[in-house]
Structure 1
C-alpha cells in the first residue's frame, strides 16, 4: 500500500518547472547554511560550467569529472540523510532525483565515449544540469540542510547573503518586480 503523503510529495516534485540558466555562477544566493553542503555545491557549479564550456578535446574528461563529483556528492548527502534520520518520504524523493541525474550523466558519458553522440549532446546535458540545480538546491537540499542544522545544532542556520542585486536566488534570474520595472 502506498503512502498518500509520499505520493503527493513525489507528484509535487514531478511537476516542478525549471528556468533556463544562461550561466551558472556561485554566489551567496545559493548558500543553504550547512558548510559542507555549500562547499559541495560550489564545486558542482565549477564542474558543470567546465562541462558547459568543454571542447571536443576536453568533453570526455569533463564528463568524467562531473560523474565522479556527483557520485561522491550524492553519496555524501545520502550519508547525511542516514546519520540524521532524515524522514523517509523526503529521503526517497531526494534520492530518486539523484538517481535520475546520475542515469543521465552515465548515459551521455557512455555514448560520448564510443562516439555515438557529439559535443552538442554533452553541452545539452550541462545545460540540463545548470537548469536543474537551483530548483533542486532550493527544494531538496535546503530542507536537508535545515534538518541537519536542526539535528546537530538545535536550530536553523543564519545565512548571510552578500551583494545580492535582486530577490531571486536563481543565478541569472530576476525578480518579477525588476522585470516589470525594466518593461515600464
Structure 2
C-alpha cells in the first residue's frame, strides 16, 4: 500500500467542508470503537464550526481533548496489532494535533479570532474524510484481519435513499 498524505497543514483546502461534514453510515469502517470515535470527531468539529465568541475556547478545547484520546486509541491499536504502516499514520496525526494545539494556545492568548477558529474547523473537516478513507480504513481492515482472519463486514443503512434500485432478478 502506498503512503498517502493529505496535507492538512497546507492552506489549500475546502473552506466549506465543515458545513458539509455529517456523520452517516457511509463513514463506517467496520471497527466499532474506531467508528464511534470518528462519529464523535464529526460532532466536535461541527460544534467548532458553529461556535461563537463565547463558546469558541470551549469548542477548541473539546476538539483538542477529543484528538488526544482519538489518536492515542488508534496508536494503541496499531502497537497491539503490529500495524506495518504505523509511522506514516502517526506522522499525519501529529501534524493535525500540532495545528490544533497551536491554534488553541493562540486562541487562549487572544491572538486568533473566530475566523481562524472556523478555518481550523474547515481544515479538519476537509482532512478527515481523506484520512479515514485512506489510512483509517486500512487500519480497520488490518485490525479485523488480525483479530478475525478477514476484512470487516460493514452494514450501511439508507445509502441509496431516494435512488431507485434496479433488480437483477427477472
TM tier relative to shorter chain: 0.7 to 0.9
Structure with the largest fraction of helix: 1
Taking a change above 3 Å as real, the CA distance of residues 18 and 34 of structure 1, as seen in their structure-2 partners, is farther
1:39 aligns with 2:36: yes
- Cα deviation, residue 13, structure 1: 2.2
CA separation in 1, counterparts of 2:94 and 2:100?
Answer: 10
User: Deviations for 1:106-131, whole angstroms, at most 9, x for unmatched residues?
Assistant: 11001111111100000000000000
- Cα deviation, residue 158, structure 1: 0.8
1:70 to 46, 67, 70: 67
Corresponding residue number in structure 2 for 1:13 = 5
1:114 aligns with 2:109: yes
CA separation in 1, counterparts of 2:5 and 2:31?
Answer: 23
- Cα deviation, residue 46, structure 1: 0.4
Corresponding residue number in structure 2 for 1:157 = 152
Provide the aligned C-alpha RMSD in A.
Answer: 2.0
Corresponding residue number in structure 2 for 1:103 = 98
User: Deviations for 1:8-46, whole angstroms, at most 9, x for unmatched residues?
Assistant: 62xx42679966523211000000000000000000000
CA separation in 2, counterparts of 1:18 and 1:140?
Answer: 19
Q: In the TM superposition, what are the counterparts of 1:73-92 in structure 2 within 5 Å? A: 73-87=70-84, 90-92=85-87
CA separation in 1, counterparts of 2:26 and 2:111?
Answer: 38
1:128 to 119, 123, 126: 123
Q: Which structure 2 residue ranges, 5 or more long, are not aligned?
A: 162-170
Q: Which structure 1 residue ranges, 5 or more long, are not aligned?
A: 167-184
Taking a change above 3 Å as real, the CA distance of residues 65 and 82 of structure 1, as seen in their structure-2 partners, is same
Normalised by the length of structure 1, the TM-score is 0.80
CA separation in 1, counterparts of 2:82 and 2:33?
Answer: 18
- For these two proteins, the number of residue pairs brought into alignment is 156
